[in-house]
Amino acid sequence: MQAARRLAGKTAIVTGAAGGIGAATARRLAAEGANVAACDVQDELGERLAADIVSEGGSAFYRHCDVALLADWQALAGETIGRHGRLDIVHNNAYTIERAPAHELDEASWDRQIAVCLKQVFLSVKTCMPHLLDAGGVMINTSSVHALLGFPQHAAYDASKGAVSALTRQLAAEYGPRVRVNAIIVGGVLTPAWAHVSREEQDEFARQTPAGRLGRPEEIAAVVCFLATDDATFVTGANVVVDGGWSITKG
Q: Please identify every residue annotated as catalytic.
A: 157
Whole-angstrom distance between the N-terminal and C-terminal Cα of the chain? 41
Spatial CA neighbour of 15 closest among 88, 120, 111, 119: 120
Sheet of 180-186, strand order: 59-64, 35-40, 11-15, 89-92, 138-144, 180-186, 239-242
* Torsion (CA) 28, 240, 182, 57 in degrees, nearest 10: 0
Spatial CA neighbour of 152 closest among 201, 114, 101: 101
Phi, psi at residue 16, to the nearest 5°?
60, 40
CA–CA dist 136, 205 (Å, integer)? 39
Q: What is the DSSP letter of 168?
A: H
